[in-house]
Chains A and B, each alone.
Chain A
Amino acid sequence: MNLSRDVALIGAGMTRFHNKIHADKTSREIFLEATLEAINSVDKNFEFKDIEALFLGTFSGDSFENQAHMAALMADWLGINPKPAIRIEDACASSGVAISMGAMAIASGLYDIVMVGGVEKMTSLDTNKVTDTLAMAADNLFEVSAGFTFPGLYASIATAHFAKHGSRWDQLAAVSIKNHYNGSLNPKAHFQTSVLDVAKKMGESRGLTFKDEMEFLRSPLNPVVAYPLRLFDCCPISDGAAVVILAEAKKAKRFTDTPIFLKGLGQASDTMCLSNREDLTSLKGTKIAAQQAYKMAGVKPKDIDLAVVHDCFTIAEILATEDLGFFPKGEGGVAAEEGRTAINGDKPVNPDGGLKAKGHPVGATGAAMAYEMFKQLRGEAGKHQIADAEIGLSHNVGASGATVTVQIYGK
């Protein structure tokens, strides 16, 4: 299947993802900040009033801020009334899905220019309440009632993956070390410190020295959250927003000489309950969404120059690199350990630090992935730029895999 009209990105903006710097703001203010940056990023001729609709991905303003009806609220605060505003809630994949919805709205001929974004203000609740809220994305009757948390679901995937494919926690740690290093190169990232530097800093204040990252990651300073996942295997709780502006491909030329084209998109659903999946070590939704996107774009996994994948937990990045077809099943961990997914590896994954270091304000993540694609493919990613990036892939997952979107971008 193809889109009946081609779609391009003409602008992108995001706030830094963080747990403190947005403390005094509400989600509407954070979203406005990302929007203004996106609008200013359009090269020429763009006016706010050119936006014909807003597609907003957001997970749970309802719980985090006692605020529902978020899309209308954002449209109001952006001053774009009476343009239609649509909220999309698909857990952590909310704005990945919003991008597909925005693209489809353009492809349908209904609109030429739409804004797609995501926002989440999570830090208004304490960690335990955030844990409860995130668990709402799992099956309340049959997973949460059993005691499962969100990290717990991915931790279970990890124990199953270890048993079936012989992967090890050290390989998860390799993902964490890589993504923290990448985060140190990204001014928008929540964490901009390498694990080695964290180890030094935390060690100094406690009179401890660690011979390397691994010794630190095995220490009590990296406590278990859900065995085998430790703190440094989990993405942080962050506030933030990201926005991209999509335009019909021909119209896009009016606004920039270097638009980035959405070449392929895919989306799939899977069982809500992890327990109902035949293979607990793979996300079927990722495989199916990727097949659709590869087919539409006319490319293969080997053609992808860089990927941003949904590493809410380190094990999730290993699963993604396997299920997207970058490495054979069971070899994602080895690839991470060998540095193949590093910024200078043969298949760079999450050069922006991923959810692990960049942060994961749930509803903003999919849009932030599109932001990264826009910057990388235009050669504007700064210190974490992948040289000569031509084709990029983004992969956004809702909860433990019940929703997955894959998008492929090119010049």
Chain B
Amino acid sequence: MIIMSVKPFSLKSFREYLSEGKIMASYCPSCKKVHLPPRPICPNCMGKTNKWRELKGEGIIKAYTTIHVPLTKMMSQSPYTVGVIEFDEGGRISGLITNARETDRDLIDLRVKAQIVKEGEEIKLCFKIIS
């Protein structure tokens, strides 16, 4: 009998999955809600979110901004665009939008596809506009 190894609900596991190319959220079976970042307790019902759910990696932009006064570590990329992304399965996260550096069009509701980007030790979720 093969027992699939399931990682514990931790941020370490989230990063490990990302490095394997998987965007994993936690799922609350009683609320039928997906939570990002994954967490062991559902903030909606306080119940245990006992399932991982893999997301396909596509969604829409719910809010965004183009930052001209950047964080020190982002100085070389300025101006850059960041946004709040809602995945098709539910669950939202913030991320860099890589192909909208300076744009005059409204980005709300545009479709994006996730990109997993490695920067040294860091692993980040970024997004590319596909619509």
Do A and B form a real pair? yes
Residues on A lying within 8 angstroms of B by beta carbon are 127-129, 131-132, 135, 141-149, 151-152, 155-160, 162-163, 223-229, 271, 273-276, 280
A280:B63 contact, CB within 8 angstroms? yes
**Closest Cβ of chain B: how far from A105's Cβ, in Å?**
30
| B67 touches which of A157, A226, A275 (Cβ 8 Å) | A226
A159:B43 contact, CB within 8 angstroms? no
Contacting residues, chain A, for B67 (C-beta < 8 A):
147-149, 151-152, 155, 225-227
Contacting residues, chain B, for A151 (C-beta < 8 A):
67, 69
**Closest Cβ of chain B: how far from A67's Cβ, in Å?**
21
Instruction: Tell whether A163 pairs with B65 under 8 Å between CB atoms, given A147-B71, A147-B74.
Output: no
| B71 touches which of A131, A160, A224 (Cβ 8 Å) | A131
Secondary structure of the B side of the interface?
strand
Q: Is B54 in contact with chain A by the CB < 8 A criterion?
A: no
Interface residues on B, range: 35 or more
List residues 74-131 of chain B with CB under 8 A from any CB of chain A: 74-75, 77, 80, 82-85, 92-96, 106-109, 122, 124-125
A144:B71 contact, CB within 8 angstroms? yes
Find the A residue at minimum CB distance from B96: A147
Q: Report the separation of the CA atoms of residues A147 and B122 in the bound assembly, to the nearest whole angstrom.
A: 13
Contacting residues, chain A, for B65 (C-beta < 8 A):
152, 155-156, 158-159, 226-229
**Closest Cβ of chain A: how far from B65's Cβ, in Å?**
4
> A142, A144, A157 — which one has the most chain B CB atoms within 10 A of its CB?
A142
A156:B83 contact, CB within 8 angstroms? yes
Instruction: Tell whether A132 pairs with B69 under 8 Å between CB atoms, given A159-B64, A160-B63.
Output: no
Q: Report the separation of the CA atoms of residues A276 and B63 in the bound assembly, to the nearest whole angstrom.
A: 12
Find the A residue at minimum CB distance from B75: A128
Q: Can you list 10 A-B contacts (CB < 8 A)?
A: A128-B72, A147-B96, A149-B67, A149-B69, A156-B64, A159-B64, A226-B68, A227-B66, A275-B36, A280-B84
B94:A135 contact, CB within 8 angstroms? no
B63:A156 contact, CB within 8 angstroms? yes
| A131 touches which of B62, B72, B82 (Cβ 8 Å) | B72
> B77, B80, B94 — which one has the most chain A CB atoms within 10 A of its CB?
B94
Q: Report the separation of the CA atoms of residues A146 and B92 in the bound assembly, to the nearest whole angstrom.
A: 13
Contacting residues, chain A, for B62 (C-beta < 8 A):
160, 275, 280
Find the A residue at minimum CB distance from B68: A224
Nearest 4 A/B pairs, CB to CB: A155-B65, A160-B63, A156-B63, A163-B108
A157:B63 contact, CB within 8 angstroms? yes
Secondary structure of the A side of the interface?
helix
Q: Report the separation of the CA atoms of residues A147 and B66 in the bound assembly, to the nearest whole angstrom.
A: 10
0 or 1 for each of B21-41: is its CB under 8 Å from A? (1 = yes): 000000000000000110000
| A147 touches which of B11, B80, B107, B109 (Cβ 8 Å) | B80
Q: Is B70 in contact with chain A by the CB < 8 A criterion?
A: yes
Instruction: Tell whether A225 pairs with B43 under 8 Å between CB atoms, given A156-B83, A274-B84.
Output: no
Contacting residues, chain B, for A160 (C-beta < 8 A):
62-63, 84, 108
Q: Report the separation of the CA atoms of residues A163 and B43 in the bound assembly, to the nearest whole angstrom.
A: 27
A147:B63 contact, CB within 8 angstroms? no
Contacting residues, chain A, for B43 (C-beta < 8 A):
271, 276
> A146, A223, A276 — which one has the most chain B CB atoms within 10 A of its CB?
A146
A132:B94 contact, CB within 8 angstroms? no
Contacting residues, chain A, for B107 (C-beta < 8 A):
159
Find the A residue at minimum CB distance from B95: A146
> B37, B80, B84 — which one has the most chain A CB atoms within 10 A of its CB?
B84
Instruction: Tell whether A163 pairs with B72 under 8 Å between CB atoms, given A147-B82, A156-B64.
Output: no
Find the B residue at minimum CB distance from A154: B65
Contacting residues, chain A, for B82 (C-beta < 8 A):
146-148, 152, 156
Contacting residues, chain A, for B63 (C-beta < 8 A):
156-157, 159-160, 274, 280
Contacting residues, chain A, for B84 (C-beta < 8 A):
156, 160, 274-275, 280
Find the A residue at minimum CB distance from B11: A141
Q: Report the separation of the CA atoms of residues A333 and B62 in the bound assembly, to the nearest whole angstrom.
A: 20
Q: Report the separation of the CA atoms of residues A163 and B96 in the bound assembly, to the nearest whole angstrom.
A: 20
Contacting residues, chain B, for A162 (C-beta < 8 A):
106
Instruction: Tell whether A224 pairs with B66 under 8 Å between CB atoms, given A128-B75, A275-B94.
Output: yes
**Closest Cβ of chain A: how far from B91's Cβ, in Å?**
9
Q: Report the separation of the CA atoms of residues A128 and B75 in the bound assembly, to the nearest whole angstrom.
A: 9
| A226 touches which of B37, B69, B72, B94 (Cβ 8 Å) | B69
Q: Report the separation of the CA atoms of residues A229 and B67 in the bound assembly, to the nearest whole angstrom.
A: 9
**Closest Cβ of chain B: how far from A183's Cβ, in Å?**
22
Contacting residues, chain B, for A273 (C-beta < 8 A):
94
Q: Report the separation of the CA atoms of residues A203 and B65 in the bound assembly, to the nearest whole angstrom.
A: 29
Q: Report the separation of the CA atoms of residues A236 and B19 in the bound assembly, to the nearest whole angstrom.
A: 40
Instruction: Tell whether A142 pairs with B37 under 8 Å between CB atoms, given A155-B65, A160-B62, A280-B62.
Output: yes
Instruction: Tell whether A149 pairs with B70 under 8 Å between CB atoms, given A163-B106, A280-B62, A280-B84.
Output: yes
